[in-house]
């Protein structure tokens, strides 16, 4: 059932192009430059008057939520707040009228996410979700759910569910922007075209020689003291996700930061025995991240550049080349090498990849 792969995690990483295809299936409407999210509650009348989106989630799903924030604000022009579900539920949050609460959850059973969604609903928000399990509690308690089509995820470290959540967030941003008029039919069509080009690009990142290259990187860096992941803009959450994946399955110390925060403390960690991964694709902030690479190098740190920004590859001593795409979708491509890096480091260190210590697949109690 592992389909010839040594671990579920590796199988699930390789399933991601299919997950993308399934999450898009039947939903694209190129004629109107729009998407059909399936199910009820995603009509123009449900979305056109949304004044604010409040995202609540945990762990990897929260990282997808940060990406959703960039997409919904940048494409649909709607302000987005996001919080750890566990913090939201014990604060005294204030919601403006016409808030759409958006829970993101693979399982749909995470205790904090569910409690946060219920609280937002009690405060007058409309409860909605991006979820992978039909009939889950989060789905039943939402007035609209965008289902991800990742299929059952067995590996405790979430991979394919994350990619499906990010693609779902892009679809939601497109639908909201079409509903409120911020996205034109022509722009909607171009966004759909970009989605259609994504599968082949994902396959490039997963090609045998690309995977082998990452295994070699993993081998060279598997005994360093720790890892530091940096990214900006829509790839800042990918830095968080790269660090989380590595911690979860290899038990190595890893920190994920927005690159601009580096000088506010974490730069003190830089030394030759700490590897810095800078996620940088071509886009509005790539020049800024390039200068972060220079700064790490100037302090004697080793840098691996990951993304489509070629100039970063020239500055860093090691690189993972990722195909160019629209900046909005670059996180989908950039996360894959980081999943593989965590996987191979954990494998080379002899860790129990599918069942990492101290972790449960679904956190249904606090
Ligand atoms: O089922 P959920 O998406 O609500 O789960 C949320 C987190 O518990 C989950 O993403 C966790 O962080 C994973 N182990 C990450 O790999």
Task: Return the pLDDT at 31.
Answer: 97
Rounded to an integer, what distance in angstroms lies between the CA atom of residue 294 and that of residue 172?
37
Whether residue 159 is predicted with pLDDT greater than 90 in this model: the reply is: yes
Q: Whose CA is nearest to atom 8 of ligand 1?
A: 59
The CA-atom distances, in angstroms, between 263 and each of 22, 120, 230, 257, 281 are: 42, 36, 12, 11, 21
Q: Among 158, 169, 366, name the best residue to mutate to test ligand 1's pocket (greatest count of ligand atoms within 8 A of Cβ).
A: 158
pLDDT average, residue stretch 6-13: 96
Q: Using one digit for the tens of pLDDT, what is the confidence trace for 244-260?
A: 999 999 999 999 999 99
Active site residue 225: no
Q: How far is the CA of 153 from the centre of ligand 1 (A)?
A: 11
Q: What's the CA gap between 46 and 50, in Å, rounded?
A: 8
Flag whether pLDDT at 273 surpasses 90.
yes
Cα 216 from Cα 222, distance rounded (Å): 10
Q: Of 61, 114, 132, which is best to mutate to test ligand 1, by the most ligand atoms within 8 angstroms of its C-beta?
A: 61
DSSP state of 260: G
Q: Give the span between the Cα atoms of 102 and 121, in whole angstroms.
A: 10
**Alpha carbon nearest to ligand 1 atom 4, residue:** 105
Q: Whose CA is nearest to atom 12 of ligand 1?
A: 59
pLDDT in tens, 88-126: 999 999 999 999 999 999 999 999 999 999 999 999 999
User: From the candidates 97, 160, 196, 361, which is the catalytic residue?
Assistant: 361
Going by alpha carbons, the residue nearest to atom 9 of ligand 1 is: 59
Which ligand 1 atom sits nearest the alpha carbon of residue 362? 1
pLDDT of residue 56: 98
Cα(181) to centroid(ligand 1), Å: 34
Q: Which helix (H) or strand (E) holds 130?
A: strand 126-131
pLDDT at 63 over 90: yes
pLDDT band with cut points at 50, 70 and 90 for residue 67: very high
pTM of the predicted model, to two decimals?
0.98
Whether 161 and 18 have beta carbons less than 8 Å apart is answered as no
Cα(111)–Cα(26) distance, integer angstroms: 32
Between the CA of 61 and the centroid of ligand 1 the distance, in Å, is 6
Average pLDDT over every residue of 25-48: 97
pLDDT digits over 309-342, tens only?
999 999 999 999 999 999 999 999 999 999 999 9
**Residue 1 predicted with pLDDT over 90:** no
Residue bearing the CA closest to ligand 1, atom 14:
157
Distance from residue 362's CA to the centre of ligand 1 (Å): 7
Coil vs helix vs strand at 35:
strand
- d(CA 161, ligand 1 centre) in Å: 9
pLDDT of residue 185: 98
Angle at 340 between CA 303 and CA 7, to 5 degrees: 155
User: Who lines ligand 1 at CB under 6 A?
Assistant: 58-61, 105-107, 110, 113, 156-158, 248, 359, 362-363
* Ligand 1 atom with the shortest distance to the CA of 158: 16
Question: Could you tell me the distance, in angstroms and rounded to a whole number, from the CA of residue 162 to the centre of ligand 1?
Answer: 9
Cβ-contact 117, 147 below 8 angstroms: no
Mutate to test the pocket of ligand 1, among 59, 163, 238 (most ligand atoms within 8 A of CB): 59
pLDDT (tens digit per residue) in 194-207: 999 999 999 999 99
pLDDT above 90 covers what percent of the chain?
Answer: 95
pLDDT exceeds 90 at position 137: yes
In this prediction, residue 134 carries a pLDDT of 97
Which residue owns the Cα nearest ligand 1 atom 10?
Answer: 60
pLDDT of the residue at 78: 98
Q: Please write the tens of the pLDDT for every residue from 170-226.
A: 999 999 999 999 999 999 999 999 999 999 999 999 999 999 999 999 999 999 999
What is the spatial distance between Cα 201 and Cα 183, in angstroms, rounded to a whole number? 25
For residues 309 and 324, what is the distance between their CA atoms, to the nearest angstrom? 8
**With contact defined as beta carbons under 8 Å apart, do 60 and 68 qualify?**
no
> pLDDT category, 360, cuts 50, 70, 90?
confident
Confidence of residue 357 (pLDDT cuts 50, 70, 90): confident
Supply the mean pLDDT for the chain: 97
How many angstroms is it from 149 CA to the middle of ligand 1? 16
What pLDDT is stored for residue 304 in this prediction? Answer: 98
Atom 11 in ligand 1: residue holding the nearest Cα: 59
d(CA 22, CA 306): 27
Band (365; pLDDT cuts 50, 70, 90) = confident
Task: Give the pLDDT confidence score for residue 307 in this predicted structure.
Answer: 98
Mutational pocket test of ligand 1: of 12, 85, 110, 346, the residue with most ligand atoms within 8 Å of the beta carbon: 110
Q: For residue 335, how far is its CA from the centre of ligand 1 (angstroms)?
A: 16
pLDDT at 9: 96
């Amino acid at each position: 059932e592992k389909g010839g792969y040594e671990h579920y995690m590796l199988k699930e990483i390789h399933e991601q192009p299919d997950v993308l295809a399934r999450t898009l299936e039947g939903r694209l409407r190129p004629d109107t430059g729009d998407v059909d999210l399936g199910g009820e509650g995603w009509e123009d009348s449900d979305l056109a008057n949304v004044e604010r989106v409040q995202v609540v989630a945990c762990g990897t799903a929260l990282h997808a939520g940060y990406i959703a924030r960039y997409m919904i604000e940048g494409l649909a022009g709607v302000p987005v707040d996001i919080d750890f579900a566990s913090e939201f539920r014990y604060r005294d949050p204030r919601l403006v009228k016409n808030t759409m609460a958006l829970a993101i959850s693979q399982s749909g059973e995470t205790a904090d996410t569910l409690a946060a969604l219920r609280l937002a609903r009690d405060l007058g928000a409309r409860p909605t979700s991006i979820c992978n399990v039909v009939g889950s509690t989060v789905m039943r308690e939402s007035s609209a759910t965008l289902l991800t089509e990742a299929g059952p995820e067995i590996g405790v470290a979430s991979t394919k569910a994350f990619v499906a959540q990010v693609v779902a967030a892009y679809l939601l941003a497109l639908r909201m922007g079409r509903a409120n008029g911020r996205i034109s039919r022509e722009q909607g069509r171009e966004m759909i075209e970009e989605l259609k080009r994504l599968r082949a690009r994902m396959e490039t990142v997963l090609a045998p020689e690309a995977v082998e290259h990452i295994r070699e990187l993993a081998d060279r860096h598997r005994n360093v003291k720790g890892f530091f992941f940096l990214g900006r803009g829509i790839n800042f959450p990918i830095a968080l996700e790269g660090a989380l994946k590595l911690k979860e399955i290899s038990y190595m110390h890893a920190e994920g930061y927005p690159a601009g925060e580096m000088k506010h403390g974490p730069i003190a960690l830089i030394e030759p025995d700490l590897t810095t991964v800078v996620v940088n694709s071509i886009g509005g902030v790539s020049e800024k991240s390039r200068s972060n690479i220079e700064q790490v190098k100037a302090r004697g740190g080793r840098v691996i550049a990951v993304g489509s920004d070629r100039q970063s590859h020239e500055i860093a001593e090691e690189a993972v080349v990722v195909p160019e795409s629209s900046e909005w979708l670059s996180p989908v491509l950039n996360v894959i090498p980081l999943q593989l890096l965590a996987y191979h480091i954990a494998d080379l260190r002899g860790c129990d990849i599918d069942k990492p210590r101290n972790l449960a697949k679904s956190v249904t109690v606090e």
